[in-house]
Amino acid sequence: MLKVNLRHLEEHGIRLKGELPVAELDLDLNDDLIRVEKPLRYNLSVELLNDAVLVTGSLALPLNCECARCLKKFSTDLKLANWALHLPLEGEDKVSVDNDCVDLTPFVREDILLDFPQHPLCKPECAGLKSKTARKPKALEKQDLDVWAKLDKLKIK
């Protein structure tokens, strides 16, 4: 569990660094193209404000994807590099505290899902399966090179 003990924050902020197993992240995915098999990595700093907990840092989740266009398998990291979470301890939106502990897991899960790729692509410009038959501009390049080669010969003479 990715939990913060508020008592540990009373004197100074803490650093949370580690991995959260896929089972605990419990993403409940229904996606044929993306599989999550490796743990989420987190590197967070947590501090206690007057009436809130502030969490900032980075999250990275390795994804095993299948390209939505060309069906090639590839791996990528879903990264939230400047993740920030403000959890009020007072008022209507206050976060639930259990034995002085706040569970960050649901907030991590929510933001990971918000950032989840809808159509994974092996590369942004992937042309898909038809790319093999696509016209290649090589003929043109060769012609250009020939012209230069001829010019070079002219200069030598």
Q: Nearest 5 degrees, angle CA 80-CA 31-CA 2?
A: 40
Tell whether the torsion through CA atoms of 143, 149, 154 and 155 is positive or negative.
positive
Kindly write down the DSSP assignment for every residue of 16-30, as one continuous string. Answer: EEEEE-HHHH-----
User: Out of 5, 69, 103, 111, which residue is the one contacting Zn ion (CB under 5 A)?
Assistant: 69
User: Out of 70, 89, 97, 101, which residue is the one contacting Zn ion (CB under 5 A)?
Assistant: 70
User: Out of 2, 67, 87, 95, which residue is the one contacting Zn ion (CB under 5 A)?
Assistant: 67
89 binds Zn ion (CB under 5 A): no
14 binds Zn ion (CB under 5 A): no
Smallest distance from Zn ion to CB 74, Å: 8
122 binds Zn ion (CB under 5 A): yes
Smallest distance from Zn ion to CB 123, Å: 6
Token digits for 11?
Answer: 């004197």
Smallest distance from Zn ion to CB 33, Å: 11
Q: Map tokens 């043109």 to a residue.
A: 140
33 binds Zn ion (CB under 5 A): no
Cα-Cα-Cα-Cα dihedral of 79, 84, 88, 89, to 10°? 80
- CB closer to Zn ion, 136 vs 157: 136
54 binds Zn ion (CB under 5 A): no
Q: Which of 123, 114, 105, 98 is nearest to 39 (CA)?
A: 105
Binding site for Zn ion (CB under 5 A): 67, 69-70, 72, 122, 126
